[in-house]
Structure 1
Amino acid sequence: MPATETSAASTPGAQPSNHITEDEASLYDRQIRLWGLDAQNRMRNSTVLVLSLRSLAHETIKNLVLAGIGRLIIMDGEKVTEEDLGGGFLFREEEGAVGTERTAAALPQIKSLNPLVEVTALPTLEPFVGGDETAMITFLKREKVDVVVACDLSYAQMEAIDAAAHAAHTKFYGAGTYGFYGYVFADLGTHHSFTYTPPGKGAVKEVIRYRSMVQAFDRTNWALTHEKTSEGGSPFGGYRRVLKARQYAPEVAVPVLALWEFEKKHGTLPAGREGQAKELAEITSELQTALGVHPKLLSSSADVVSHFVVHATDYFPPTLAIVGGLLAQDVLRSISRNGWPIVNLLVVDSLRGTATSSPWGVAPDPTPP
């Protein structure tokens, strides 16, 4: 498919260099003071691929571009609908966005945010949707993609894309929203090193071994606690059952996993039809048992399940802004290698204003000291 592209090299003040230019130093002065010149230089030399512009990606793209990544590739094979206008700010009704390709409609707004960032727009999701793993890996290596960000895709699609990214040694983020709730899954590779500064202490270096989605949610390890397997187990097993399980927000995390199971079984999300509430509740209960979650910790999960049955396909702008912002923030952390990243499933409850991460298939316990 033909690409629509704008190159930072053709923008006044931008130069094809591996180091920060004077114009960039002036533009990014505030954040360079915050996280340092080396971190900013890593970002300006990075390439981020964003898949799907349905809704969630808008806030994420804005924050990535304003932060000064080097190159952004956007891919989407759909055209803008009237419903899309309520899901993000990259589509403008007054500019005739409805009926045009999402990538073409979003491109002018993205360019206006930061002309120093190179943007490539591809009006397709192939090979990441509809292609095979080999084709995905070839694309990632050819375009020298550092991070893949997949938004609003099905769990099966996320799983396939992450498998390719994991094999290509490319960082992966999968994210989506379901009404008032949302999630971010991170797979930053088998050896992600970064610098972290604990409160009141000096900077220390850490290394975390991430797992792919297939590995992270492998049920064969759920019966094992993190203390007994290098592959990780249920975040709610072992001592977590008493000490840490509550802070991992199982009342949201378990229904999210149940929603994925429902989607894998039916090929679609629930839409308020008869029998769907009962089925999703049964899946949630089965997962609770498999994960070893104490029933008291899921006392409010029924409300989340009920919400999913009716609103799983709806988007709520405040949730999009929260999840999109957190997603972009962590992508920048992973690129700059500065700060503790998401490990590895983050669930967001916009009603309560909470965002909670839990470790799946990651050992030893990767939580900040």
Structure 2
Amino acid sequence: MSMTQPQKATTGELNKLSEDEIALYDRQIRLWGMAAQANMRSAKVLLVNLGSLGTEITKNIVLSGIGHLTILDSHIVTEEDLGSQFFLSKDDVGKSRLDAVGSKIKDLNPKVTLEFDNGVVECKNKEYFSQFDLIIGTELNKTRSTELNKITRSLKTPLYLAASNGLFSYIFVDLIQFDAVDEKIQSMKPTTIGKVSSNREIIDVQTYKAEDDEKIVHEKITTRNYYKSFEDMLQTATLEGKLNKRQLKKVSSLLPLTFTSLVSDIPIETLSQEKLQELVIQVCEKLGLATSNISNEYVEQFQRQTNTEFAPVSAIIGGALSQDVINILGKKQAPLNNFIIFDGITLEMRIFEL
């Protein structure tokens, strides 16, 4: 079982949290420590688009005590939004999303500094994005995602991209390079420095004895995580050499389907089923998957649900993404690396290093 030794906040970190904030976030501070909460309190985050998924992410990180959140969204509320976004009511149809829900977001946590921007992401320049410590993009197509990631890479700013497709969803993570520190009780086989996978390596291991029992040895392990850009991942992704034959057979149709939707220059909802099948087969070959991994039922359902948002799926994937944001801002626990898919049929969420 992994055990984490609480971090001690410095005097400067303590000064960042008022007595009211310490009382408000008491439960969280007990969970991940004063230093982690202070790190979150000083962070500036940008969320692009406030759809169903963006709404869930907003709720989670605002309640967690993020210091500053800017939401960038130019959309107008439609009747279709009402079934997937809990902040909205019938009276909001025709209003801008931000005008409709801004006050409700503020009510979640008055301690958080909120800014609302009705602009469009493609009109924002590098200087605009440079003011943020972390950026989350939702509802973005391949072109917008690629362009945003190029900017965040040039700024060395962490980026999360996420989208839902009916019962299915994905998260892409680019932290560029991130060192995570974890602590656990040393097992019979001590942890050693070296490569863990193609994207991760252990760069440092320190040991210390438990204060109440010198027979128990703890390890403080520093793992360095390497990330690909969104564009690079789409071009070079493969599972060859990363999974054994048995594991490859268990890979869901959802992975090649999701990749097909991301790499295709033509919206998949406009394709014939035969053409979509052809593209999915090409993606399977590129990823190193057998065509037997493709389920016709999944292909039909995935295409039929394109651009549809379901609130339960948004809640799950939004919660997972938000928790990882909290972890890296608080510098606690290893982050996701680097592509996650959620299957609302089987309720499985799998992480792939691509």
Aligned to 1:259: 261
Extract unaligned runs of 5+ from structure 1.
1-16, 223-233, 361-369
- Work out which of the residue numbers 227, 235, 240 in structure 2 matches 1:218: 235
CA distance in 1, matches of 2:272, 2:314: 25
Post-superposition offset of 1:307? 1.1
Post-superposition offset of 1:299? 4.5
Aligned to 1:181: 168
Post-superposition offset of 1:217? 2.1
Aligned to 1:352: 346
Residue 194, structure 1, aligned to residue 184, structure 2: no
Post-superposition offset of 1:324? 1.0
Aligned to 1:47: 44
Aligned to 1:340: 334
- Work out which of the residue numbers 278, 301, 304 in structure 1 matches 2:298: 304
Aligned to 1:161: 148
**Cα–Cα, structure 1 residues 357 and 239, in superposed 2: closer, same or farther, change >3 Å?**
closer
- Work out which of the residue numbers 22, 25, 31 in structure 2 matches 1:25: 22
Q: Counterpart of 1:337 in 2: which secondary structure?
A: coil
Aligned to 2:119: 124
Post-superposition offset of 1:321? 0.9
1:51-110 CA-partner distances (Å, limit 9, x unpaired): 0112211111000000000000001112111111112112233xx322111111121111
Which has a greater percent of strand? 2
Query: Are 1:65 and 1:117, in contact at CA under 8 Å, matched by a contact in 2?
Result: yes
1:122-157 CA-partner distances (Å, limit 9, x unpaired): 1112xx3245xxx1x21122x2x1111111111211
Write out the 4+ residue segments of structure 1 that deviate beyond 3 Å after TM superposition.
197-203, 243-247
Give the TM-score normalised by the residue count of structure 1: 0.79
Q: Counterpart of 2:173 in 1: which secondary structure?
A: strand
Q: Counterpart of 2:92 in 1: which secondary structure?
A: coil
Post-superposition offset of 1:21? 1.2
Q: Structure 2 counterpart of 1:315, which letter?
A: E
State the Cα RMSD in Å: 2.0
Q: Counterpart of 2:172 in 1: which secondary structure?
A: strand
**Cα–Cα, structure 1 residues 177 and 198, in superposed 2: closer, same or farther, change >3 Å?**
farther
Post-superposition offset of 1:269? 4.3
Query: Are 2:249 and 2:290, in contact at CA under 8 Å, matched by a contact in 1?
Result: no
**Cα–Cα, structure 1 residues 256 and 147, in superposed 2: closer, same or farther, change >3 Å?**
same
Count the aligned residue pairs.
311
Query: Are 1:49 and 1:148, in contact at CA under 8 Å, matched by a contact in 2?
Result: yes
CA distance in 1, matches of 2:349, 2:268: 23
Aligned to 1:56: 53
Query: Are 1:250 and 1:293, in contact at CA under 8 Å, matched by a contact in 2?
Result: no
Post-superposition offset of 1:197? 3.6
- Work out which of the residue numbers 109, 116, 138 in structure 2 matches 1:114: 109
Query: Are 1:188 and 1:210, in contact at CA under 8 Å, matched by a contact in 2?
Result: yes
**Cα–Cα, structure 1 residues 27 and 202, in superposed 2: closer, same or farther, change >3 Å?**
farther
Q: Counterpart of 2:340 in 1: which secondary structure?
A: strand
CA distance in 2, matches of 1:159, 1:65: 27
Query: Are 1:178 and 1:313, in contact at CA under 8 Å, matched by a contact in 2?
Result: yes
Q: Counterpart of 1:322 in 2: which secondary structure?
A: helix
Q: Counterpart of 1:129 in 2: which secondary structure?
A: helix
CA distance in 1, matches of 2:220, 2:93: 49
Aligned to 1:366: none
Give the TM-score normalised by the residue count of structure 2: 0.83
Q: Structure 2 counterpart of 1:180, which letter?
A: L
Query: Are 1:346 and 1:356, in contact at CA under 8 Å, matched by a contact in 2?
Result: yes
CA distance in 2, matches of 1:65, 1:87: 19
CA distance in 2, matches of 1:304, 1:85: 26
Q: Counterpart of 2:70 in 1: which secondary structure?
A: strand
Q: Structure 1 counterpart of 2:18, which letter?
A: T
Q: Counterpart of 1:314 in 2: which secondary structure?
A: coil
CA distance in 2, matches of 1:325, 1:256: 20
Percent of aligned pairs with the same amino acid: 27
Aligned to 2:284: 288
Aligned to 2:63: 66
- Work out which of the residue numbers 129, 136, 141 in structure 2 matches 1:140: 129
